[in-house]
A and B are shown apart, each in its own frame.
Chain A
Amino acid sequence: MDLLLQVMVGAVRGGTSILYAALGETLSERAGVINLGTEGCMLVGALSAYAVTAQTGSPWAGLLAGAAAGGLLALIHAVLVLSRKANQLATGLVVLFLGLGLTSLFGASYVRESINAFHPIAIPGLSSIPWLGEIFFDHDPLTYLSYAVGPAMWWLLYRSRWGLLVRAAGEREEVLAAYGHSPLRVKYLAVCGGGALAGIGGAQLATAYTNAWFENMTAGRGFIAVALVIFAAWHPLKCVTGAYLFGACLALSPALQARGIGINQFALDALPYVVTVLVLIFLGRKRLHAAPEGLRKVFEMAPAS
Chain B
Amino acid sequence: MTRRWRLGAATFAVLALATAACSSNGSTTETTSGDTTPVATAPGTGGKAVGFIFVGPKDDVGYNQAAYDGSQAVAKAFPDLKVLTAENVPEDDNATRVMEDMISKGAKIIFATSYGHLDPAAKVAAAHPDVVVIQQGNLIKGTVAPNFGTYFGTVYEPVYLAGIAAGKATKSNKLGYVYAFPIPQTTENISAFQLGAASVNPAVQTFTVATSDWCNPAKQAEAANSLLSEGVDVITQHQDCTKTIIEKTEAAGAFTVGYHADGSALAPKGWLTGSQWAWGPLYVDIVKTTLAGDFTGSKYNDNYRVGLKTGDNPFVQSKYGPSVTDETKALIDTARAAIALPDGSPFKGPVMDQDGKVIFAAGTTPDYVTIEGPAFFVQGVVGKLPT
A-side interface residues toward B, CB under 8 Å?
A: 1, 6, 9-10, 13-14, 17, 76, 80, 84, 86, 94, 97-98, 100-102, 104-105, 108-109, 111-112, 114, 119, 205-206, 209-212, 214-215, 217-219, 221, 250-251, 254-255, 257-260, 262-266, 269
Contact = CB atoms under 8 A, between A and B. Distances in A.
Complex A-B, nearest 7 residue pairs according to Cβ-Cβ distance, in ascending order: A101-B21, A262-B384, A210-B217, A260-B382, A258-B226, A254-B226, A212-B217
B218 A210 contact: yes
A86 B8 CA distance: 11
B369 interface: no
Given A10-B225, A212-B243, A97 B386 contact: no
Nearest to A215: B57
B266 A114 contact: yes
A258 B232 contact: yes
Contact of B59 (A109, A221, A259, A263): A109
A84 B11 contact: yes
A258 B230 contact: yes
B26 to A, nearest CB: 12
Contacts of A13: 221-222, 225
A257 B210 contact: yes
Given A108-B57, A214-B241, A102 B21 contact: yes
Most B Cβ at <10 Å: residue of A104, A111, A211: A111
Contact of A265 (B20, B207, B210): B210
A113 B356 CA distance: 44
Contacts of A114: 243, 247, 266
A86 B213 CA distance: 36
A205 B218 CA distance: 7
Contacts of B207: 257-258, 260
Contacts of B221: 13, 209-210
Contacts, number: 146
B226 A94 contact: no
B22 A100 contact: yes
Given A254-B222, A260-B382, A269-B212, A76 B247 contact: no
A265 B386 contact: yes
B15 interface: yes
Nearest to B227: A258
A13 B22 CA distance: 31
B323 interface: no
A257 B209 contact: yes
B21 A211 contact: no
A140 B229 CA distance: 17
B210 A211 contact: no
B220 interface: yes
Interface residues of B, number: 53
Given A210-B221, A211-B244, A219-B216, 11 more contacts: A9-B229, A10-B225, A17-B218, A111-B60, A111-B61, A114-B266, A209-B218, A214-B60, A214-B241, A217-B218, A265-B210
B25 interface: yes
A97 B22 contact: yes
A200 B61 CA distance: 26
A265 B210 CA distance: 7
B382 A101 contact: no
Contact of B216 (A112, A217, A265, A266): A217
A98 B17 contact: yes
30 contacts: A9-B225, A10-B225, A10-B226, A14-B218, A76-B14, A84-B11, A86-B11, A94-B15, A101-B17, A104-B22, A109-B59, A112-B61, A119-B251, A209-B218, A210-B218, A212-B217, A212-B241, A214-B215, A214-B216, A219-B218, A221-B218, A250-B218, A251-B222, A254-B209, A254-B211, A257-B207, A257-B210, A258-B226, A258-B232, A260-B383
A58 to B, nearest CB: 18
A211 B383 CA distance: 27
B24 interface: yes
A79 to B, nearest CB: 8
A221 B17 CA distance: 24
B380 to A, nearest CB: 11
Given A257-B208, A264-B386, A101 B226 contact: no
B383 A262 contact: yes
Interface string B92-108: 00000000000000000
A202 to B, nearest CB: 11
Contacts of A86: 11
Given A114-B266, A209-B218, A108 B59 contact: yes
A217 B212 CA distance: 14
Contacts of A105: 21, 24
B12 to A, nearest CB: 11
